[in-house]
Amino acid sequence: MIWIVLISTIVFLFYLLILRGMKGPAKTIETIDRAINDLLMRGYDGGFLMIDIAHTSYFLQLQKYINSPGDYGIKFCFPNADWSRVFFQKMIDYTRKNEVEYSIMEKSETGSLEFFCVDFHKNTHEAHNFVKNILLNVFKVNEKVKLFVRLENATTEDKLIDR
């Protein structure tokens, strides 16, 4: 009996410490601006910021691109997949209504999966406002919702990566 309790406790702690920790630190809608700035400055080409919405399987993603030294920026991309289809058209409607320029890209390596994309170039303030409004107006989350952010393919140093 004690072994069952011990094993259960170890499994629970593993889940709590390891698996939950992989989501990244908890933020709010108002505090994710720092993570977006970090992506723009410290991200390598193709680096990305995952924003997981607590208590859901939903997420948003921003990605950094570098075309040449000094020519870099961030873009928001959202898939038209089974789990996200309900939000895909709502994002298009939101951007049209608010006159936000967007594009629809198709990724051939993933079959014929479409992606809704908005290029913010170097404007992290605009990117933050867009993500904030998508969370509030499309996903309909509470403004105090807990968000888990994870920056991938970026340096830990506080320096600009632009090549």
Q: What is the mean pLDDT of residues 147-159?
A: 95
Q: What is the pLDDT of residues 7-50, one digit of tens each?
A: 434 544 444 444 444 567 899 999 999 999 999 999 999 999 99
∠ Cα 13 18 19 (to 5°): 100
The pLDDT of residue 25: 84
**16: Cβ–Cβ under 8 A, 6 or more apart, which residues?**
none
Q: What is the pLDDT of residue 22?
A: 54
Average pLDDT estimate for 83-103: 95
The per-type count for the chain, helices as H runs and strands as E runs, is: 4, 7
Mean pLDDT of the chain: 87
52: left (phi over 0), alpha (psi -120 to 50) or beta: beta
Tell me the chain's radius of gyration from C-alpha atoms: 18
% of the chain residues with pLDDT over 70:
83
Provide the pLDDT for residue 24: 77
Question: Over 90: is that where the pLDDT of 2 sits?
Answer: no
Give the bridge partners for 116, in sequence order.
Answer: 78, 104
pLDDT for the residue 109: 65
Instruction: Say how far residue 7 (Cα) sits from the centre of its chain.
Output: 35
Given this model, what pLDDT does residue 112 score?
Answer: 77
Report the sign of the C-alpha dihedral through residues 25, 28, 33, 36, in that order.
positive
The per-residue pLDDT for 33 is 96
Q: What pLDDT is stored for residue 108 in this prediction?
A: 60
Percent of the chain with pLDDT over 90: 77
User: pLDDT, tens digit, for every residue of 103-130?
Assistant: 998 876 656 789 999 999 999 999 999 9
Cα 41 to Cα 25, 92, 106, distances in angstroms: 19, 28, 27
Q: Which two tokens stand for residue 110?
A: 């993933």
Written as six digits, the tokens of 106 are: 């198709």
Query: pLDDT at residue 70 above 70?
Result: yes
Query: Cβ-count burial of 32 within 10 angstroms (0-12 exposed, 13-18 middle, 19+ buried)?
Result: buried
Say how many CA atoms lie within 13 Å of 5 toward its Cβ: 2
How far apart, in whole angstroms, are the C-alpha atoms of residue 49 and residue 58? Answer: 14
Is residue 67 scored above 60 in pLDDT?
A: yes
Average pLDDT of the residues in 84-97: 95
